[in-house]
Amino acid sequence: MTKDACKQIVLDIIADIAPDEDLSNLKPDVRLRDQMQLDSMDFLDIVMELRKQHGIEVPEADYIHLATLDSCADYLTPKFEALGK
């Protein structure tokens, strides 16, 4: 899996949990919370959807890696690859 493909997966999840937001101009290197309205429950949504849709577990200590799209890709891509995706 490429990092761009991984970012798209995260974006698709965010599109579902924040349906009122315009995601077209999200900067990959800026904290998601600084660019859109995302609260702690929303972040738990991202974690839950990664678990439900893709079988990926994100331990609480690693939540920090979901801060930006770039950091999501860096952190999640190896996990996807470990699952053979």
Report which of 31, 40, 38 is spatially closest to residue 17, judged by C-alpha positions. Answer: 38
Q: Which of 29, 61 has the CB closer to other proteins? A: 61
Report which of 63, 61, 44 is spatially closest to residue 52, judged by C-alpha positions. Answer: 44
Q: Which of 20, 29 has the CB closer to other proteins? A: 20
* Binding footprint of other proteins on the chain (CB under 8 A): 17-20, 41, 44-45, 48, 51-52
Q: Which of 25, 40 has the CB closer to other proteins? A: 40
User: Cβ(80)–Cβ(53) under 8 Å?
Assistant: no
The tokens for 6 are 């991984």
Minimum CB distance to other proteins, residue 16 (Å): 8
Minimum CB distance to other proteins, residue 12 (Å): 15
